[in-house]
Structure 1
């Protein structure tokens, strides 16, 4: 995704653009390419004039909402990777887009909620996959049992 920064005077139209951009690319990946899509290197620089954490959180929420909405229905969006996660003491790597979880609690909360929601989806799909595997194994065992009974062989052989 090309970097497109939100200006404080134009937040609503920029979020609308982001929504449309994400919808378009997710649909292209789903129906055109038929490949998974990762939304990467998104964020909001604190170096922008008029920056506030609500703007950054709105961007994160928008991206994560689109990823989650696609993922929960088995769509193309597979995840989102913001730019960039740092820890305290990594000041030389700061570029304005960094997130230090201990210094950005509202954004850390947005990230944590998304991680939890995607984890829940993974668990649901794992259960579905396990149930399908169990059904296939059960059908195979039933066919083997029926075949043995046709030949009147003992089940233990």
Structure 2
């Protein structure tokens, strides 16, 4: 399977950049659906985690091409000598760990209960929305 990988590098992000990133991601998801017919994966988005995850989840919910994401630099404790300032250490950042766990759980549920292109018209949608949207990102 071919996958288009798009890298988002984020340093310090102002609120005005968040809406741009969301529309930029949505445009790339739409382009991969219409023209390439392949999934898209976003990576390296540290400070934009909620925005990226929200766009991916919305695409997945619609049966779209938003396929997933790759965090930049997930380290274990004790790997501090390798940190360039952007590392994520889950034991030191429980809130980030919770966001990643919730996103992974949501995507796993969506992908296991419905076919890729059903566009969530199946009966599973209402049950999943109850489970998955009780705590928005």
TM range (shorter): 0.7 to 0.9
- Counterpart of 1:71 (choices 28, 42, 60) is 60
- Counterpart of 2:21 (choices 18, 24, 27) is 18
**Richer in helix (by share):** 1
Other-structure match for 1:113: 102
TM, length-normalised to structure 2: 0.74
* Number of residue pairs matched by the alignment: 111
**d(CA) in 2 for partners of 1:90 and 1:42?**
20
Cα pair 1:6 1:14 within 8 Å, conserved: no
Note the residue ranges of structure 2 that are not aligned, 5 or more in a row.
1-6, 119-137
Other-structure match for 1:93: 82
**d(CA) in 2 for partners of 1:29 and 1:18?**
16
**d(CA) in 2 for partners of 1:100 and 1:26?**
29
Query: Could you list the per-position Cα deviations for residues 30-67 of structure 1 after superposition, in whole angstroms to 9, with x for gaps in the alignment?
Result: 11111110011221xxxxxxxxxxxx3xx111100111
Note the residue ranges of structure 1 that are not aligned, 5 or more in a row.
44-55, 130-157
Cα RMSD after superposing both structures: 1.9
TM, length-normalised to structure 1: 0.65
- The structure with the largest alpha-carbon Rg is 1
Runs of 4+ in 1 over 4 A off after TM superposition: none
Query: Could you list the per-position Cα deviations for residues 14-45 of structure 1 after superposition, in whole angstroms to 9, with x for gaps in the alignment?
Result: 111111111111111111111110011221xx
1:32 aligns with 2:21: no
